[in-house]
Amino acid sequence: MDLLENSARAGARRVEIDLDQQRAADRLVLRVIDDGRGMSPEVVSMATDPFFTSRTCRRVGLGLPLLAASTQRCDGHLLIKSEPGRGAVVEAAFRLSHIDTPPLGDLRTTLMCTIVGHPELDIVYRYTVDGGTFELDSAAIKSELGEVPLSHPRILRWLEQYISEGLVTASAVTAQEEEVHAKVD
């Protein structure tokens, strides 16, 4: 959510969120790509300093520094690539089995809040679990709906069901494999 908020504040119109769980490789990778204002090399180099922020309402910025510390603690990495006028790419990787790897939480609700809370953004969300992928593109949904807002109660119910089914489908390969392994063991 913090990364998405950063993208929105940077004037992004399109944000891609990729969440990739690779159990065999023991990796969890989150990648956020936006088309916002971007950052200078100087800002990129200071982005993980907790006493640096580009915001004027406070003197500290803890989102990226906390993410960097979390990735390091979990045998992962944080990469930030950006250029002025060319958007930004933030990639956070974790060792999936590390005890301190943050839980994913309620992906359905987070995704719904993100899409409905930022109707000005076109959000592409990809969730991959060991090769099974669910993809949602809010621009395509908005195009189909025409003038009907994503916040319409019927659309919210449909979106909730669509996301729930998609997340289950992406995880289905993993669940089937676990079931087979449980029977073998």
Domains of the chain with CATH codes: 1-103 (3.30.565.10), 105-185 (no CATH)
The pLDDT > 70 percentage for the chain reads: 87
In this predicted model, what pLDDT tens digit does every residue of 81-97 receive, in sequence order? 999 999 999 999 999 99
In this predicted model, what pLDDT tens digit does every residue of 60-85 receive, in sequence order? 456 899 999 999 999 999 999 999 99
In this predicted model, what pLDDT tens digit does every residue of 128-173 receive, in sequence order? 999 899 999 999 999 999 999 999 999 999 999 999 999 998 887 5
State yes or no: pLDDT of 58 exceeds 50. Answer: no
The pLDDT of residue 68: 95
Take residue 123 and report the two structure tokens written for it.
Answer: 């959000």
Q: How far is it, in rounded angstroms, from Cα 44 to Cα 149?
A: 36
